[in-house]
Structure 1
Amino acid sequence: MQHRYVFECLDRSLKDIMKAVDPERYAMPFGGITVVLGGDFRQILPVITYGDHADIVAACITRSRLWSICQVSPPRVCNLPVTENQILISSQFCDVQTENTVDNMICSTYPNFSHEGHSTQYLSERVILTPTNQTVGHLNSLIIDKLPGESVSYFSVDAVEEFGGTDEDMNKAFPIEYLNSLNVAGMPPHDLKLKVGVVVMLMRNLNQTLGLCNGTRMIVTKCLRFCVKCEVICGTFVGSKHFIPRMELSPSNTKMPFKLYYVAISRVTSPTGLTIFVDDESSATTNITRNVVYKKVFYGLPEA
């Protein structure tokens, strides 16, 4: 969901444009143009960096002056309680049962991995989504250990740019060990471990005409010293192979507002294709989780 300032900016821009056609349309919302706003408050709220409850609620379209002239379609009826929802946990695990619940989740997502792990179609149809980078790293290490062969480590070369002091001052202020320990959102880890058969994702656009775009999923087919040979497993260019070289990456300014697209469960077409792993405060598995909803966002919406 976009920040309400985006809609208000669109409103002012359309008024300025349509004023040249008809001066009276400057006083009309969106310059008299019918605008359809799509979105679901129940799924995605505006993302405010370091924002608290009040900041996020204030950024919603329901807090904009435009909301009074919006006509809302009837909401869908939801029978789930607001406080707690029951989540079905799939019991389809791999051939060997383990007591580790994380291993069970991996085996549930990738059944018969030892036999089907080489299939690009098998890999392209499965994915595990996690809320934090720490969980991502833990899952990646477990999955890599399940693959045969030795892993190859690719280390980053971290440096600080636009530092006002001398090189000696920079090394004292930002030791290389400290830079290597940072885990920044949108950046790979300092020690990136890969194996043949590992599924990877591009983090920047390399060649859009060949389908090498940010977010392209590929499978590693060969680990070389200064590059990695990969095969595309999704999209129009599925099956094409490319050499992915080392590249420079810089994190975006996390102090500035950014867009977040995180729509996962609504894209699943069948309940049998969804498995959710939930643990409680003691790291034990459970089938109940809190449904965190900012109820103030719904103020002013028509009742079901």
Structure 2
Amino acid sequence: MTHRKAFEALDTTHRDITGVEMPFGGKVMILGGDFRQVLPVVPHGSKAQMIDACIVKSLLWNVIKILPLKHNMRAQQDPKFADFLLRVRDGNEPFVQDDMIRIPDALVIPWVGDESLGQLIASIFPGLEDIAFDSSYMVDRAIITPRNEDVAWTS
């Protein structure tokens, strides 16, 4: 979800610091994720602006070596979700409006007010009160959102 200009700035910074005119100053950079699934956030940006912000539009893309994962752990445990992701990736999931796809009901918690947030947290972090300080429990779970204000916790 990082804007390509951030990678380009990091590249320039590494080149300046190291004095080495190689991508990222000759340092190995490891990037994770699937740029086809998560576009960079461009506030109030158009689809074209979001696509332009992707690292694939950077000159750095020519020197990036892609090492695909051999096993998708989620796909092994949830083949229906894996099939859905493949249909989205390949452009085979039907659109419901413009460029929008319908998220399967099994992946959605309908918004009906503040209790929906509690339901989301309970589904991602079941038994949180009893096990919140167990690092192995926390490391396997996440709620991802593109904006910090969406996850601001107030008590």
TM-score range, shorter chain: 0.5 to 0.7
The share of aligned pairs that are identical, in percent, is 34
Shift of 1:41: 1.7
Give the 3 Å change call, closer, same or farther, for CA 2–236 of structure 1 in structure 2: same
Q: 2:57 is matched with which residue: 63, 67, 74?
A: 63
Shift of 1:89: 5.5
Shift of 1:43: 2.6
Identify the residue that residue 6 of structure 2 maps to in structure 1: 6
Q: 2:146 is matched with which residue: 245, 260, 267?
A: 260
Counterparts of 2:59 and 2:104, CA distance in 1: 41
Task: Confirm or deny that 1:83 pairs with 2:92.
Answer: yes
Counterparts of 2:93 and 2:68, CA distance in 1: 24
Counterparts of 1:2 and 1:129, CA distance in 2: 27
Counterparts of 1:87 and 1:44, CA distance in 2: 15
Give the 3 Å change call, closer, same or farther, for CA 199–75 of structure 1 in structure 2: closer
Counterparts of 2:104 and 2:50, CA distance in 1: 30
Shift of 1:36: 1.2
Give the count of matched residue pairs: 109
- Structure 2 runs not aligned, ≥5 long: 73-81, 95-101, 120-124, 135-144, 148-155
Shift of 1:73: 1.9
Between structures 1 and 2, the one with greater strand share: 1
Give the 3 Å change call, closer, same or farther, for CA 88–55 of structure 1 in structure 2: closer
Give the 3 Å change call, closer, same or farther, for CA 199–62 of structure 1 in structure 2: closer
- Structure 1 runs not aligned, ≥5 long: 20-24, 91-104, 106-127, 145-197, 201-216, 218-231, 238-258, 262-304
Q: Deviations over 1:24-57 (max 9, x none)?
A: x1x2111111111112123311010000011000
Shift of 1:17: 1.0
Q: Deviations over 1:179-219 (max 9, x none)?
A: xxxxxxxxxxxxxxxxxxx959xxxxxxxxxxxxxxxx9xx
Rg (Cα) greater in structure: 1
Counterparts of 1:44 and 1:129, CA distance in 2: 20
Identify the residue that residue 44 of structure 2 maps to in structure 1: 50
Counterparts of 2:105 and 2:44, CA distance in 1: 33
Amino acid at match of 1:66: L
Counterparts of 1:260 and 1:199, CA distance in 2: 19
Shift of 1:139: 3.9
Identify the residue that residue 132 of structure 2 maps to in structure 1: 235
Counterparts of 1:53 and 1:18, CA distance in 2: 36
Length-normalised TM-score, structure 2 = 0.54
Q: Deviations over 1:74-129 (max 9, x none)?
A: 47797643232797756xxxxxxxxxxxxxx9xxxxxxxxxxxxxxxxxxxxxx75
Q: Deviations over 1:217-245 (max 9, x none)?
A: 9xxxxxxxxxxxxxx726229xxxxxxxx
Counterparts of 2:105 and 2:109, CA distance in 1: 15
Counterparts of 1:199 and 1:36, CA distance in 2: 35
Task: Confirm or deny that 1:40 pairs with 2:49.
Answer: no
